[in-house]
Amino acid sequence: MKKRTRLMLLLSALLICGAASAWFVDTLDAQGVALPSGIGDLSNASTIEVKDSAGTVVLRGHFAEVPEDDDDVERKAELTGAAGATGQAEIEVSKTNNQLDQEVEVSVSKLTPGATYDVFVDGSKLGTFQTNKNGDGELELNTPEVKKP
């Protein structure tokens, strides 16, 4: 095979793999992770904590409401902790046809690389995430989609 033909085949294969990878990542992102059942309405959530595997609070913040143009509730918190660790958290709550739709996003940095952490809001555990090699981590949780009959 000529060098040019091999190069064209290689580039084509890379493009196909890249497109498939992008589709797969988009599919995973669109699904999200479900909030635990029975978590209740987070419209008035006040405190968020990130705890390490020993149960020690490494980041903490207090939610404040952010004005919205619609009837949705948005609350944000700055997370602070020891050793320069920081983060942000956001809760968005909306109601449509008496159905509660909630989203929680947590983003942290400068924690222990490769460690596992739990997120608690007002004492209730919402989820778990693992930090990357730089000590950064994210957790996104959504209300499970209700299947219509």
Q: Residue 87 and residue 80: Cα distance in Å, rounded? A: 7
What is the pLDDT confidence band of residue 114, given thresholds at 50, 70 and 90? very high
User: Among 50, 27, 25, 23, which Cα is nearest to 104's?
Assistant: 50
Amino acid at 63: F
Amino acid at 56: T
Output 98 or 41, whichever has higher pLDDT. Answer: 41
What is the pLDDT confidence band of residue 32, given thresholds at 50, 70 and 90? low
Please count the other Cβ atoms lying within 10 Å of the Cβ belonging to residue 6. Answer: 10
Of the candidate ranges 29-33, 86-90, 127-131, the one whose mean pLDDT is the lowest = 29-33
Sole residue written with tokens 């989203």: 103
Output 2 or 97, whichever has higher pLDDT. Answer: 97
| Tokens of residue 117, six digits | 């952490």
pLDDT at residue number 29: 36
User: Among 123, 122, 125, 127, which Cα is nearest to 138's?
Assistant: 127
pTM: 0.75
Q: Quick check: 72 pLDDT over 60? A: yes
Q: Quick check: 23 pLDDT over 90? A: no
Sole residue written with tokens 């029975």: 38
Determine the average pLDDT of the residues in 113-120.
97
